[in-house]
Amino acid sequence: MKLNGADILINCLCEQGVDTVFGYPGGAVLDIYDALYRNGKIKHILTAHEQGAAHAADGYARVTGKTGVCFATSGPGATNLVTGIATAYMDSVPMVAVTGNVGINLLGRDSFQEVDICGITMPVTKHNFIVKDVTELADTVRKAFYIANSGRKGPVLIDILKNVQVAECPYQPQTPKNPATKSVLPDKLKDIADAIEKSKKPVIMAGGGIIASESSLLLRELAKKCEIPVTYTLMGKGCIPDGDELCLGMLGMHGTAQAVKTVINADTVIALGTRFSDRVALNRDKFAYGKTVIQIDIDNAEIDKNVTSSMHLMADLNQALTALLPLLKQKQRSEWLNEVKSFKKERNLNRATEIINSASRLSPKDSPIITDVGQHQMWTAQNFDLQSPRLFCTSGGLGTMGYGMGAAIGAAIGSGKLAVLVTGDGCLGMNMNEISTAAANKLPVVILLMDNRVLGMVRQWQKLFYKRRFSQTNLERKIDYIKLAESLGAVGIMLGENDDIENTLEKAFNTACEKSVPVLVDCVISPDENVLPMIKPGATYDTQLDKMEENK
């Protein structure tokens, strides 16, 4: 059959199993939106801003494991996607972003709303395409989904010229081609298995690759079979249940004391799907000193990039662990586990963490948890107990303030569950317009706003490293967040410093579920509440700070 380019695009999305698209229309994509309307099979979520659409596609992808899809028009519409695309790129989230552009006769002439979005996004996409010929469109869309999901996952952009959207050519439906992973031969894992067997004090360091490869159950089997404690990076949260006897909590600059001390005392670090970022390895030259480091990762570029391994394997983690487990014998490491248990496990307690701990107890166990970036992000990672993977959405690599509200929309739609967003007043100021999107779509999202009237994490750094010179981190905004929420179609609830946390949050969760409405809880906290423990940038793990008095 013969179709125009816009119809070919929508049909190809249906081929790929796309059920939801997030976007914002404009002149250069009107034909695409018309095809979407006529097709009627794909749900479209109209966001308040294109950046919100990209973050929503990201949140949808994280909780479902499917590819998130977003649309934007040319020029500013396309450039507004860039931060969301870069966020997905840094955290290896599969996404296909579709933009429109001027017709081929106007290309390169500085035409109205023309921008080279492929050139702009080249550093932050796995691949991008500009489609100038309608006969190439269907294959390009199929390639984009294949690339987004092959190897280390990530975003792909397709820029479709206006003339391609209206031109016609034959279209033949195809079954999606799913990326295949190569089986790992056992002989490639022999040295790794031997090293694990010989180790007296091993620790597993699990990253986002465990979740991306659907390997959480294999990780738990490995940990229990060999009695190895597990710490996770920010992107790996949920890979092992918080509260499991072998779970140490998060590692890194704001990692738990137990995780940090275990890594210090370990003789072997088994790094699975993690890239040893500067917020995790900190001083990469000293991180692995005197230890055997085993690294397994699907991306060859990450092998030995930040920390030099003793042995490594480039492979899909699911395939690697499936092949590794039969090579390992049941092992008892009671002496090591007792030593690990002796390490301090207290959590940092303040008003903010009390609120997050209460939310963790009261929220449904299958609710996706979303954060923006800053102190509240670290408090949540430290204190919100998760039992399953694909429930935690946060901007790890790029650290994108303004990520949360869009991602919460995508997570709520993708999961079909109540979503919990923990944010700060600085971050919410960047994306509060998306509350109206959640309200318009009747999404049960509980927004826990940590309202300390400052840019908390930046101010904490100024306290520690800049002798309390609080330059531009005190917010002088006169926002009434309850009225703001109500004006955007949400429900607003105040949680003052002396109000009962449990009753207030219980009311918020019940209201969101019963009325299918976003509920904003204005949680008033002190600007002097800090994220602890903390390790200084570039320092070693043995310099972890539990108090900040000496730096005041």
Domain ranges of the chain: 2-168, 186-342, 351-524
- Strands 445-451 and 419-424, by their bridges, are parallel
Query: Is 3.90.470.10 the CATH classification of the domain at 351-524?
Result: no
Please confirm, yes or no, whether 162 is among the known catalytic residues.
yes
CB 95 within 8 A of CB 88: yes
Pair of tokens at residue 223: 């940990």
Secondary structure E strands in 427-515: 445-451, 491-495
Q: What is the pLDDT of residue 121?
A: 98
CA 349 to chain centre: 25
Same fold yes or no, 2-168 and 186-342: yes
- Strands 369-371 and 155-161, by their bridges, are unpaired
Please confirm, yes or no, whether 457 is among the known catalytic residues.
yes
Q: Considering 51, 95, 153, 162, which one is annotated as catalytic?
A: 162
Please confirm, yes or no, whether 497 is among the known catalytic residues.
no
Q: What is the pLDDT of residue 383?
A: 96
User: What pTM was computed for the model?
Assistant: 0.97
Please confirm, yes or no, whether 286 is among the known catalytic residues.
no
448 beta partners? 422, 521
CATH fourth-level superfamily of 186-342: TPP-binding domain (3.40.50.1220)
Neighbouring residues of 453: CB distance < 8 A, sequence distance ≥ 6: 425, 474, 475, 477, 527
Q: What is the pLDDT of residue 548?
A: 59
Helix ranges (H only) for 384-443 are 404-415, 425-431, 435-440
CA 64 to chain centre: 12
Architecture of domain 2-168: 3-Layer(aba) Sandwich (3.40)
Q: Considering 253, 401, 457, 534, which one is annotated as catalytic?
A: 457
Quick one: residue 268, left, alpha or beta (phi over 0 = left, psi -120 to 50 = alpha)? beta
Q: What is the pLDDT of residue 462?
A: 97
For 49, how many CA atoms within 13 A lie in the half-sphere containing its CB? 20
Please confirm, yes or no, whether 377 is among the known catalytic residues.
no
Residue by residue, pLDDT tens for the chain (552 residues) are 899 999 999 999 999 999 999 999 999 999 999 999 999 999 999 999 999 999 999 999 999 999 999 999 999 999 999 999 999 999 999 999 999 999 999 999 999 999 999 999 999 999 999 999 999 999 999 999 999 999 999 999 999 999 999 999 999 999 999 898 888 988 989 999 999 999 999 999 999 999 999 999 999 999 999 999 999 999 999 999 999 999 999 999 999 999 999 999 999 999 999 999 999 999 988 998 999 999 999 999 999 999 999 999 999 999 999 999 999 999 999 999 999 999 976 777 899 999 999 999 999 999 999 999 999 999 999 999 999 999 999 999 999 999 999 999 999 999 999 999 999 999 999 999 999 999 999 999 999 999 999 999 999 999 999 999 999 999 999 999 999 999 999 999 999 999 999 999 999 999 999 999 999 999 999 999 999 999 998 999 988 887 755 444
Q: Considering 50, 114, 434, 529, which one is annotated as catalytic?
A: 50
Neighbouring residues of 289: CB distance < 8 A, sequence distance ≥ 6: none
Integer-rounded Cα Rg, in Å, for the chain is 24
DSSP tag of 162: H
CB 516 within 8 A of CB 444: yes
Q: What is the pLDDT of residue 550?
A: 44
